[in-house]
Amino acid sequence: MTPGSQAAVLVTGGAGYIGAHTAKALAERGYRPVVYDDLSAGFREAVRWGPLVRGDIRDEAALRAAMSEHGVAAVVHFAGLIEVARSVSDPGPFWDVNVSGTRALLAAMQAAGVPRLVFSSTAAVYGQAGRAAGDLISEDDEKAPSSPYGDTKLAAERMIAAHCRAHGLTAVALRYFNASGADPSGVIGEAHEPETHLIPLALAAGLGDGRPLTLFGDDFDTADGTCLRDYVHVNDLAAAHVAAVGAELAGGTFEAMNLGAGRGHSVREVVAAAARALGRPVPHAIGPRRAGDPPSLVADPSRARSRLGWEPARSDLDTIVRDALRWEAQPAYAAGGRASRRGEAK
């Protein structure tokens, strides 16, 4: 499938953060994104580049109907539950939505004869597994998820890989490190309910629109004692999905690829970048560690570079934080998320 072909691409979870940015990027490269989303976490306002089919990811018949109605040629699969802490306290729905949902999708693709899948995976499949702070993680490193969220994403990857071997599907699993930033247009951005991610919370605190930030631990074995993460701009992630949809890969291939900038930033460095972007300090205090946080997650992104020709263009920390601030100061949608930042009940 080539860019400019107007081929229809089903984007499950396309009303969510990374899904909406990918739908926009697909449209810009001449594909027709068809969003499939139940709007349980996504936003109607984020579906702007093609039709919305409202449906549950576990509903095989509805998926199949959407694929035939729109003549879908490939699927990009984001729909799923993403909150690590919730997966620890209530794992059942994660296995149901992330694993059974992927199973239903694979069955529908097989029935409809859709040959290509790009799967939204995560650095959470790796866990910490004996790495020193700052060590780069490559795709073949040990997988030791530290949460049920990571377990379900790894299980879904393995199910997809088996499906490729058995049925000739071609699939790419993209393992994101820390998705961040927002499209510079200001029409879509990060809006989670509840918001748990560092950059939006730091900016909300600095804008006076949220609680003071709590840094989850400063006693990790890293240079400044706070966790290292690899922040990658959501538009760079979107570009990788578009490349994976069009990549020349033999039928039956399954490939997993890291998407990160290949550079670690500490929580303190992120807080400093937020203060630079805001031109004022970010009120913060040190709190206890958060359960399940690995000290260091930094990607070796060389496989995505060589296989997809992927080169991050906006993933330096200051650009990410500036783009995030433009959105955070004036989000086009996000009411619930903003209330949750102020600590108000839903």
The whole-angstrom distance between residue 259's C-alpha and the CA centroid of its chain comes to 10
236 part of the interface to ligand UFG, by CB under 6 A: no
Nearer to ligand UFG, 110 or 196 (CB): 196
Question: Residues 293-312: x/- map of binding to ligand UFG (CB under 6 A)?
Answer: xx--x---------------
Of the residues 23, 79, 104, 123, which one makes contact with ligand UFG according to CB under 6 A: 123
Contact track, ligand UFG, 28-67, x by CB under 6 A: ----------------------------------------
Instruction: For residue 298, give the H/E element and its range.
Output: strand 296-299
| 8 A C-beta contact, residue 39 and residue 105 | no
Question: Minimal distance in Å, beta carbon 155 to ligand UFG?
Answer: 14
Does 319 engage in binding with ligand UFG (CB under 6 A)?
Answer: no
Longest dimension (CA), the chain: 56
Active site residue 176: no
**Stretch of 6-14, 65-73, 214-222, 330-338 lying at the interface with ligand UFG (CB under 6 A):** 214-222
Stretch that binds ligand UFG, among 61-69, 134-142, 191-199, 249-257 (CB under 6 A): 191-199
Pick from 136, 279, 135: which is nearest to 206 by CA?
279
Cis peptide before 194 (omega within 30 of 0): yes
The answer to whether 281 and 206 have CB atoms below 8 angstroms apart is yes
Q: By three-state DSSP, how is residue 141 classified? A: coil
Contact (Cβ atoms closer than 8 angstroms) between residue 292 and residue 286: no
* From 10-18, 46-54, 275-283, 288-296, span contacting ligand UFG (CB under 6 A): 288-296
Alpha helices (runs of H) in 71-141, residue ranges in sequence order? 84-89, 92-94, 101-112
For the chain, report the end-to-end CA distance as a whole number of angstroms.
Answer: 43
List the catalytic residue out of 31, 149, 176, 231.
Answer: 149
Residues forming contacts to ligand UFG in the complex (CB under 6 A) are: 82, 84, 122-124, 149, 178, 196-198, 201, 213-216, 227, 229, 267, 290, 293-294, 297
Residues that are catalytic: 149
